[in-house]
Amino acid sequence: MKKGKMICEEMGISPKVYEFGAEIEKGLKERFDAIDETVEYNQLKVLSGMQKAKVEAACFAATSGYGYDDQGRDKLEEVYAHVFRGESALVRPQIACGTHALAVALSGNLRPGDELLSPVGKPYDTLEEVIGIRPSKGSLAEYGVTYRQVDLLENGSFDYPAIEKALNEKTRLVTIQRSKGYQTRPTLSVSRIGELIAFIKERRPDVICMVDNCYGEFVETIEPTEVGADLCVGSLIKNPGGGLAPIGGYIVGKKEYVENAAYRLTSPGLGREVGASLGVMTSFYQGFFLAPTVVGGALKGAIFAANIYEKLGFSVIPNSTESRHDIIQAVTFGTPQGVIEFCKGIQAAAPVDSFVTPEPWAMPGYDSDVIMAAGAFVQGSSIELSADGPMKPPYAVYFQGGLTWQHAKFGILMSLQKLVDAGLVTI
């Protein structure tokens, strides 16, 4: 501990900030032990999937061109299907990001005249243009897909009477966003998602239930596809890529719906048969193998951040004692400067670009300036130590990631140091 304190001081953390963090950490042993149990279970689940699929060294070979008979790609999708308990999976470097994965799943399974329903309120900002809530070229709205939304109740619970009323003969797909996005609502647990899906299926068994699983993979011991979700969608530069995947996304679930998405990703008549792996398979496999451990470290960092900032009097979601269902920690500062100084600290703690200063900018897909701190090995990777937030009330920052618990801890201490130095926080 003394050596850790010494090097932290050399790197800009004052003794007072370090000791404040050390005191907080002492009270978290029991919660960290519980996380380690979840990590062990999920690690063995991934290992089991790889063994059942008979993953071999030949799976790591690169393919090019059409990518016909890409053994590594096909077996990786078999591994994902096993781990998520789905019938089929699509795991591809051709999927650019989480928003793209969701757009592919939605557009592959919705047709003109269908209606999309969100029973958990407003979707993540970048989905607004995909859906057409904010007009955009190529949106679902342009193709005749309508959208309906039911907000959560003030206490964060589902508005079941309103959801039942919103379900109609046009409803084809229900999208459920697990994480909070740029909102201060609770993240949904897998069990709560299961309850919502059961409610919908009782009334409309033919409706497709899709879960935006971004930031939630491996946080619990089960995934939404194990509680009735027809589709589960996410990004490989978040949890399941383990910090190694350089790009990509996944869609897993019922075979029919995954196939529909595959035809949208590539082309009608081609589907999943094409799409070369281009030499990324080793990173995809190894990242997925490491993902449970990486997610465990990120979870510890989120809990540490919640306890730090709640003790200092800030509103945090989840709070310091709540159960965790994604890796994101929201801290509301109420002022733009608080968000900016926090992000400066996260950037200063990065292994890459630690010397640059993050500034708010008009990022594509958002309706306000956004500040992002992410000195990452993979550009935009939010399983790596990162923080971001829209520059609008209530001026909350969203912290996530950390390839190791130790790095996440240092990042939080550095964020606190920046706030102290700016006179926004007194310890």
CATH number for the domain including 316? 3.90.1150.60
Q: How many residues does the chain have?
A: 427
Asked, for residue 121, whether it belongs to a domain, the answer is yes
Residue 1 has pLDDT above 60, yes or no: no
- Amino acid at the residue 284: F
Task: Report, as an integer, the average pLDDT of 124-132.
Answer: 94
Q: Are 322 and 349 members of one domain?
A: yes
Asked, for residue 200, whether it belongs to a domain, the answer is yes
Q: Are 332 and 308 members of one domain?
A: yes
Q: Are 181 and 252 members of one domain?
A: yes
Q: What per-residue confidence (pLDDT) applies to 339?
A: 97
Asked, for residue 55, whether it belongs to a domain, the answer is no
**Tokens matching residue 268:** 């009608």
Q: What per-residue confidence (pLDDT) applies to 391?
A: 95
Q: Are 242 and 389 members of one domain?
A: no
Q: Are 12 and 66 members of one domain?
A: no
Q: What per-residue confidence (pLDDT) applies to 363?
A: 81
Residue 119 has pLDDT above 70, yes or no: yes
Please give the tally of structural domains in the chain.
2
**Cα Dmax for the chain:** 65
Asked, for residue 52, whether it belongs to a domain, the answer is no
Residue from 262, 277, 283 nearest 72 by CA: 277
Q: Are 183 and 206 members of one domain?
A: yes
User: Tens digit of pLDDT for each residue in 46-96?
Assistant: 999 999 999 999 999 999 999 999 999 999 999 999 999 999 999 999 999
CATH number for the domain including 222? 3.40.640.10
**Tokens matching residue 345:** 């600290």
Q: Are 300 and 166 members of one domain?
A: no
Asked, for residue 49, whether it belongs to a domain, the answer is no
Give phi and psi for 27, each to the nearest 5: -85, 5
Q: CA 206 to CA 259: how far, in whole Å? A: 17
Residue from 20, 86, 120, 84 nearest 291 by CA: 84
Residue 128 has pLDDT above 60, yes or no: yes
**Tokens matching residue 23:** 């005191």
Asked, for residue 51, whether it belongs to a domain, the answer is no
Residues 25, 17 contacting (CB under 8 angstroms): no
Task: Report, as an integer, the average pLDDT of 335-355.
Answer: 97
**Tokens matching residue 359:** 């500034």
User: Tens digit of pLDDT for each residue in 271-288?
Assistant: 999 999 999 999 999 999
Asked, for residue 334, whether it belongs to a domain, the answer is yes
Q: CA 276 to CA 219: how far, in whole Å? A: 30
Alpha helices in 61-113 (DSSP H): 71-83, 98-109
Q: Are 262 and 303 members of one domain?
A: no
Give phi and psi for 393, each to the nearest 5: -55, 145
**Tokens matching residue 53:** 């699929």
User: Tens digit of pLDDT for each residue in 302-335?
Assistant: 999 999 999 999 999 999 999 999 999 999 999 9
**What are the distances in angstroms from CA 339 to CA 174, 388, 389?**
33, 8, 7
Confidence of residue 182 (pLDDT cuts 50, 70, 90): confident
Domain end among 251, 280, 309: 280
Q: CA 313 to CA 54: how far, in whole Å? A: 52
User: Tens digit of pLDDT for each residue in 245-263?
Assistant: 999 999 999 999 999 999 9
Q: Are 236 and 264 members of one domain?
A: yes
Q: What per-residue confidence (pLDDT) applies to 216?
A: 98
Q: Are 109 and 229 members of one domain?
A: yes
The range of the structural domain enclosing residue 84 comes to 61-280
Task: Say which range, 1-10, 267-276, 331-340, 377-386, has the weakest mean pLDDT.
Answer: 1-10
Confidence of residue 163 (pLDDT cuts 50, 70, 90): very high
Q: What per-residue confidence (pLDDT) applies to 184?
A: 73
124 against 102, higher pLDDT: 102
Q: Are 69 and 193 members of one domain?
A: yes
Residue 125 has pLDDT above 90, yes or no: no
C-alpha dihedral (288, 291, 292, 298), degrees to nearest 10: -170
Domain end among 280, 313, 331: 280
- Average of per-residue pLDDT values in the chain: 96
Q: Are 395 and 317 members of one domain?
A: yes
Domain end among 234, 254, 280: 280
Residues 378, 245 contacting (CB under 8 angstroms): yes
